[in-house]
Every structure is written in C-alpha cells, then in structure tokens.
A and B are shown apart, each in its own frame.
Chain A
Amino acid sequence: MPRNERVLILPTMNYLFSLLFCMTACLLPAQGARIHAHASCRGRIVVTGDTLPLGIVLQTARFYLSDFIFYRQGQEVLRENNSYHLVDLEFPESGEWAIHTSGFDEISFLLGTDSLTNVSGAYGGDLDPVKGMYWTWNSGYINVKLEGFSPQSRGRNGEFALHLGGYMPPFQTDYRVQSGVTSSGHIHIELDVCPMFEQTDWNSHFNVMSPSAEAARLTELLGRSIRVYAE
C-alpha cells in the first residue's frame, strides 16, 4: 500500500473506531434505564448522619435490593444477572446502576435477599461477608441494617441497632415489591424509613439482632414504604 494512502486510511479507521465505541458506550445506556435507590423520610432524601424529623440520628443505613425482574404487559423482559445490590447511604453511588433494557412497564424486586441465597454458601461482590451484612453466630444475611440514636430509645445513650434478617419461616424478612413504572431513563426506588421508625417499639425492641417476629414486622413496614417512580 502506498504511504500516502495509509496516511488517509488511518484517520478514517480512527473515526470508525470512535463511532463504534460511541455506539457501544453512548447509545446503549440511552436505550436502558438507570436505577436510583435511596432513602427518605416524609419526602425528604436522607443520608447517613442526617437527623430525621423524629429526632433520630441515622449513623448506619444499609439494605439489600435484589432479584430485579422487568415486565412488559405482564411478560418478563429481563431478569437481572447477579442481581444483588447493597445500598449504603454512606455511599450514595451504591444505589445507582444501569439496567440494559427498555420498554418495560412493571418492575419487581426484593427488599432483602431470598432464602436460597442464604443457604448456598459464600458469595462475592455485594454479598461478600466482608460487607458486614452476614451474621457470624447464626447463618444468614442481615437484609437491613439501621443504627443510630433516637430520643425515644431506652438503649444506652439512646442507641438503637436494627439488624433485620432471617430467611426461615416464620421469620422471613425479604419483602417483594412489585410496581408499575414507565421505562423512562431514571427509575427511583425510595425507601421511606420513617413509617417504620414511627412504629418501632423503643421501650423493648431498640436492639433487634436475630431472626424474630419483630424483625419480620419491621421489614414489612419498610417494604410497604418503598415507592417506585420514574423521573
């Protein structure tokens, strides 16, 4: 090939590669959606360290969202692979991820982790026990961990620690959320923690650290307070 032709071809190839890269990196996300999972209290976004309207100071707030399934007109269009997301309010980016599908009108997921995951040995990523969300004295994931101070808590210095987990009946603590939603670019999953805090038994259940009826009750209150909406 003559030298002058090679000079011409190289920029063309660079252009083509750039175009190809952009088609892959730029266009695909536009076809999908982006999840934004976060927590709120009475409509106000909360992060770790915030003082909630109830006077509660939230020091730790982590929860699992898992097993995402997307539907269109009742038909499943996508079941997310390795669908485990540990949302940690200390790191807001943990609640953000892309979904490579569009054209859905319904979304389904778990608050927590399913029982099979809890009995199937060691996992990595967000399920790695180094994340501090796996009990060591009794097998099972802590599906929701909320720690902090409440003026109502009879715990030491008003402390509370709600470690909500349990995968075996009658104290299962995963909660299935199913919600219609338009598949526009941004899907918000908002966990309002205050309805649960308003019904927490601050006299005797300010510490919940094992699978129990109280853990199941509090998880259900949280699950019912999840709102899914598109932006």
Chain B
Amino acid sequence: MLSKFILSGITAFLFLSGATSDPITLPVPAGWPAPQYDNPRNPLTESGIALGRRLFYEPLLSRDSTVSCSNCHLSFTAFTHVDHALSHGINDRIGTRNSPALMNLAWSRSFMWDGAVNHLDMQALAPISSPVEMDFNIQGVTERLKASEDYRSMFEKAFGSGEITGERILKALAQFELTLVSANSRYDRIKAGKDTFTAQEKNGYELFQKHCNSCHTEPLFTNYQFENNGLKPDTILNDRGRAGISGNPADDLKFKVPTLRNIEISHPYMHDGRFKRLKEVLNHYTDGIEDSPTLSPLLKDKIQLGSREKTDLTAFLLTLTDRDFLFNPDFRPPAPK
C-alpha cells in the first residue's frame, strides 16, 4: 500500500515555476523514509515528466547525436547497461565505471559511484559533458533543442513558456527520473502481507539480515554511505573512488553502496563491473576481501557462508526483482511524434 507524501511547498511554488499542469505528488511506499529530493522550484507535473522522458531518450544530448541516457540506462534492465562491465559512450569510447542502475533516486543523497554530484537536478551534466560518454555540453544541447518546434511546445506545456534553458532541461530530466520508483517486488508484497517467503528464501533473508543489512539497509537496500568493500584495486583503472572527490585519504577506495533492488537483472556488479554473476559477488565477500587501511570495519572479520547458504541468500535476493518496475510502459521510449 502506498502512502502519500507531498513535496513541501509544491503547490505554493507552482505559480512561481510557471508550470502549466497540476502538480503530481511523489508516492512514498509504506515504511519508507521521506525522500531526500526536495526542490520546491521543481514541482512534478505530467507535462514536465513527459518532457523529461523525451529528453532521457534523446540522442541530441550527445556530441554526434548517437547516444542518449537510455544507451547506458535501459528500462528493461533496471536502467543499467546490462552485460557491459564498463559503459561505452560516443565513438565506442569506454568509460571507467559500470553504469549504475537507476531507481528510487528521490531517496539518494548523492549521485555517481563517488558521490561527485550533490543533487539529482545536476546529475545529467556529468554524462553530457564526460568525454567518454556524451562528450557534449549543456549549452550545445540547449541550442539544438531551441531549433525544434516540437520541443518548444513541450517546454511551454511543462514550464509555461517555450523558453529552453539549461535549468529547464535539467529539471525535466530530474522529474522523469524521480518517477523511477521500484517498490513492488515479491519482497515488498511479502512485507505487505500479500505473499510469503519460501523456506529457502526465508533462510536467505535471515542470512541477509545478519551479514548484509548493515550496508544494504532495508527498505531501500542501501545506506547511501561510501564503503571500501575489499575489492582488489584495478591497476589499469586505478580508481580511488570517493577520495578522488573529497581529497581525503580516509575515503580511498570507497564507493557508494548500491541498492540491491533488481539485483538479479542489473549485472554485471561492482563499480567496475568485474563480477558477472551473483555467485561471484558472494564468493568475493566470503573469500576475496582484500584488507587495506580503509576497508569497511564490517568486513574485517571474514563472512562465513557455506554453498547451501549462498544459494539461500541468492534465492532471497531474487525476491527483490520488481517486474512492474522493469516492464512499466511509462518508462519506455515515448512514442515517436
């Protein structure tokens, strides 16, 4: 059952924002905390979300007009780039990290594996500008969209005038991304009393709560912290994670704890996509942890799991798959005009 939460001041600011359709409330699933996203200057509207969806699937955002957000964030695979350890941008340029799955972004405190981006509105600037992703800039995107009568019309519906600005492009993208809520997995239905775990899943859930829940905290299955989970550093990528942003040696090799929702679908795993299967992930936690000064204290003691327990744990993780989310028609590419 969904409770309702209204972003603070949403109606009061509707007039100021110039939005032309009624504000939409962001549903907060029962038992979830209040969202982190709270920008009263960007109330969700049907037309704003529709514009954001169109932009999400728009190749004009890339320098050579070949790559859209959806190239690395496919709706059917929990908005990640399935089968690609490292995502590729224009001209087949290979990035340095695995594209994160996108869901429940309203609850996220920061964005990117290293938390470089502090607000969902501003996140799109990073891939648009990255030389190994879209290799373009928001100024260029704005100019391209201004040439489109269709876009001018969509901006008018969304923001009250046909003026196309960087601010509006970013806000519309954020609006669509805020709607990507995954909260109807079997786990959720079980929690709501509408379904039950099998004996194997139940055992897996108990193992999860004992060994994993501290970082992959329910109900969002992440604590949104940065942790070093003992991965041996890749000597070619030499990615220092959060320390590259904070400059703090204590953050060396720390990456944002990802959600486990839809984990069945969002392979490969880890910030560099080094593991293709869940089995490899669990083997890492039992046998592959590399000690270092910044290793999470929770991983200092070896996690003990037998093969039967790993199977049970995996069975539980599969209950986090949300097919309503994966196959939501509202998340697919908009119908061509």
Contacts and interface: CB of A to CB of B under 8 A. Distances in A.
Contact of A129 (B39, B42, B117, B138): B138
Contacts of A200: none
Interface residues of A, number: 19
Contacts of B165: 124, 128, 130
Given A129-B167, A130-B138, A121 B174 contact: yes
A122 B171 contact: yes
Nearest to A123: B167
Contacts of A129: 122, 125, 138, 166-167, 170
A138 B119 CA distance: 11
A118 interface: yes
A121 B128 CA distance: 17
B116 A139 contact: yes
Given A132-B139, A136-B126, A136-B129, A119 B118 contact: yes
Nearest to A170: B247
Contacts of A132: 139
The secondary structure that dominates the A interface is: loop
B209 to A, nearest CB: 34
B142 interface: yes
Interface string A92-124: 000000000000000000000000001111111
Given A130-B142, A132-B139, A137-B126, A122 B166 contact: yes
B118 A139 contact: yes
Contacts of A140: 118
Chain B CB within 10 Å, residue with most, of A118, A119, A129, A140: A129
Contacts of B42: 121-122
Given A128-B165, A129-B167, A130-B166, A121 B138 contact: no
A121 B116 contact: no
Contacts, number: 69
Interface residues of B, number: 27
Given A130-B139, A136-B129, A137-B129, A122 B167 contact: yes
A134 interface: yes
Contacts of A118: 118
Interface in B104-127: 116-122, 125-126
Contacts of A128: 165-167
Interface in B150-191: 165-168, 170-171, 174
A212 B247 CA distance: 9
A134 B126 CA distance: 11
A138 B242 CA distance: 11
B41 interface: yes
A132 B120 CA distance: 19
A120 B116 contact: no
A74 B120 CA distance: 40
Contacts of B171: 121-122
Contact of A138 (B41, B116, B138, B174): B116
B241 to A, nearest CB: 13
Interface in B32-71: 39, 41-42
11 contacts: A120-B39, A121-B174, A122-B166, A124-B165, A124-B168, A129-B167, A129-B170, A130-B142, A130-B166, A138-B117, A212-B247
Given A119-B118, A121-B42, A124-B165, 19 more contacts: A119-B119, A120-B39, A121-B119, A121-B121, A121-B122, A121-B171, A122-B39, A122-B174, A123-B41, A129-B122, A129-B166, A129-B170, A130-B138, A130-B166, A134-B122, A137-B116, A137-B130, A139-B119, A212-B247
Interface of B: 39, 41-42, 116-122, 125-126, 128-130, 138-139, 142, 165-168, 170-171, 174, 245, 247
The 4 A-B pairs at the shortest CB distance, nearest first, are namely A121-B121, A136-B129, A130-B166, A124-B167
